[in-house]
Amino acid sequence: MLPKAILFDLDDTILIEDAASRRAWEETCQAYAEKTGLCKSEELLKRIRESSEWFWNDPVRRREATASFYRARVTYVKRALRGFGCDDEQTAHEIVIAFTALKDSLIGFLPRAEETIRSIAGRGFRLALLTNGDAKVQRDKVIRFGLLHYFPVCLIEGELGYGKPDSRVFQTALDRLGVPADGAWMVGDLLETDITGAQNLGIFTVWCDYSRKGLPADTKIVPDRTINDISELMKLVDTKGS
């Protein structure tokens, strides 16, 4: 049966995120390793990645970071630089500013994402966008790429004070769209946040496995459907409607 509403994740479901971040860190580390002479670029990149994992793996730090990704990045870059005997906060700020600008320039729609969203919206489905992260960063992306034209409901973790997989996010979306859980689909790339969070409310889930790696061997999370390209969503809609 066709849904009345479809909920979408943003990063790495509609917009390029991880690939933009990886490339931006690689190029930023290359530039600042040469500028500072502290280490080789690959060493700086390794330390920043390790420090980033240290930062984001802590639930408390992660929650606090939704208020400002910039401050979060400065925190873990400073920690990485201290590993090379550098405690210069200005350098940390310069690195984060350079990274942020470069990453922003690399973000864009994933292949066929905009066309698919346009087609889905044109079919009359009620749409909502659910994204975790910094309020300003995420809102800026939503505005920059004209997503409010397609998504009358846009819920951002940094604005709400809570994010996926919290059931309140999904319930708020359903309430604002005026549909029950069994009348909605959730489309997203992260099993732990997008899929589990939606399934806890009984929402039909579509997992975006764009890398085609399949489900991790140790996962207990089983999405209702898996797609390898966002354009496959139209085929799924047509199948369910026939």
**pLDDT at 138 > cutoff 60:** yes
d(CA 155, CA 173): 7
Nearest in space to 184 (alpha carbons), one of 107, 105, 126, 116: 126
Mean pLDDT of 167-179: 97
Mean pLDDT of 47-62: 92
Mean pLDDT, rounded, of the chain = 94
pLDDT at 241: 60
**pLDDT at 145 > cutoff 70:** yes
DSSP letters along 67-119, please? Answer: T-HHHHHHHHHHHHHHTTT---HHHHHHHHHHHHHHHHHH--BPTTHHHHHHH
pLDDT at 44: 96
CB hemisphere CA count around 154 (13 angstroms): 18
pLDDT at 1: 76
Model confidence pLDDT, tens digit, residues 209-236: 999 999 999 999 999 999 999 999 998 9
Give just the sign of the alpha carbon dihedral 116, 120, 123, 124: negative
Mean pLDDT of 108-130: 96
**pLDDT at 75 > cutoff 80:** yes
d(CA 240, CA 55): 42
DSSP letters along 203-220, please? Answer: -EEEEE-TT---S-TT--
Nearest in space to 230 (alpha carbons), one of 118, 140, 87: 118
pLDDT at 63: 80
pTM of the predicted structure, to 2 decimals: 0.92
pLDDT at 218: 94
Q: Identify the band that residue 242 occupies on the pLDDT scale cut at 50, 70 and 90.
A: low
- Better pLDDT: 59 or 77: 77
Q: Identify the band that residue 86 occupies on the pLDDT scale cut at 50, 70 and 90.
A: very high
**pLDDT at 11 > cutoff 60:** yes
